[in-house]
Structure formats: structure tokens, C-alpha cells
Copies of this chain bind each other. A is one copy, B any other.
Amino acid sequence: MSRPSERLKELGMTLPPVAKPLAAYVPYVKHDNLLLLSGQVTMKDGKLAYQGKAGSEHDIEAAQQAAKLCALNAIAVAADAVGGIDNLDRVLKVVVYVASADGFTDQHLVANGASNFIQEIFGEAGVHARAAVGVAELPMGSTVEIDITFSVKG
């Protein structure tokens, strides 16, 4: 298995810059060997790339791309926290909030857009516990928000 940084390169991807904190909270907090992240939305190049609800504005495939983008943003924050993606230990838990139109019940499929990407990058170290839920609305109309807990070395 390649290292995460090599997997990213093989996929032709780079980690986006980490967005500045908007308020009295920060992108991550380290506590012992836990790395707790703030929820990540579909930010790309300074604006939201996916807005609106799954099941109305977006079909499953687009919502999966939204979930993947949130995961990428989370990985960027985590990498920034430990001085590089290869210094992360493993992904522990992923909570996927999907802004859901009434009657849309495929949150687990949407969440796979994040889960599969995380495993693609981290391999065994990316296998995680997960909860996927359908919420009414998300900040700035983001289609997905993802909350990840990593473990870090030491």
C-alpha cells in the first residue's frame, strides 16, 4: 500500500488550503492522541461547491461528490494539524450529515462518497466507524457536512 501522500498524487489530487477559522472555534483540537475536527462543508476555492438538498437539488451521485469534497477538506485540516498527511495515524469515526429533501433516505449511499475516498487514501488506516443521518438544513446551504475524528501518534 502506498502512503497517503502517494495515493493522493496517484489520484492527481492535492489537499486544499485550510480555511481560516470564522469565529471562536478552530478547525481542529488535539487531545492526547485524538484529533477532533470541526465539521467540514463543501467549500472549494472559497465558496460552497454543493448547495441544496439531496433528493431535490442533487441526485445521489452529486451528493456523493459533495461528501467526497467534505472528506477532502477534513483530510486537509487533519494533515495541517500534524504536519503532513502521512503523520496521521488512522481515521476513527466519521459522522456524515446530509441535507435531505423529504423522503430521501439514501444517506448511507451519499456517505459512501466520503467513506470510499477515505479508504482509497488511507487504506487499512482509513477503515472507520460511521453514522450517516439526514438533516433539515446545513450551514450556508451546504449539501453535506462531515465530522471526522482521527487518531494521531503520541
Q: From residue A95, how far is it (CB to closest CB) to chain B in Å?
A: 8
Q: For the complex formed by this chain, how many copies does it contain in all? A: 3
Counting contact residues on chain A (CB < 8 A from B), the size range is 35 or more
What are 26 contact pairs spanning A and B, CB under 8 A?
A23-B108, A23-B112, A23-B116, A24-B115, A25-B94, A26-B128, A26-B129, A27-B129, A29-B127, A31-B92, A37-B129, A38-B129, A39-B131, A95-B147, A100-B137, A105-B137, A105-B139, A105-B142, A107-B139, A131-B147, A132-B139, A133-B135, A133-B138, A133-B145, A134-B135, A134-B136
**Which residues of A come within 8 Å of B, CB atoms?**
22-29, 31-34, 36-39, 92-95, 97, 99-100, 102-108, 111-112, 115-116, 118-119, 126-142, 145, 147, 149, 151
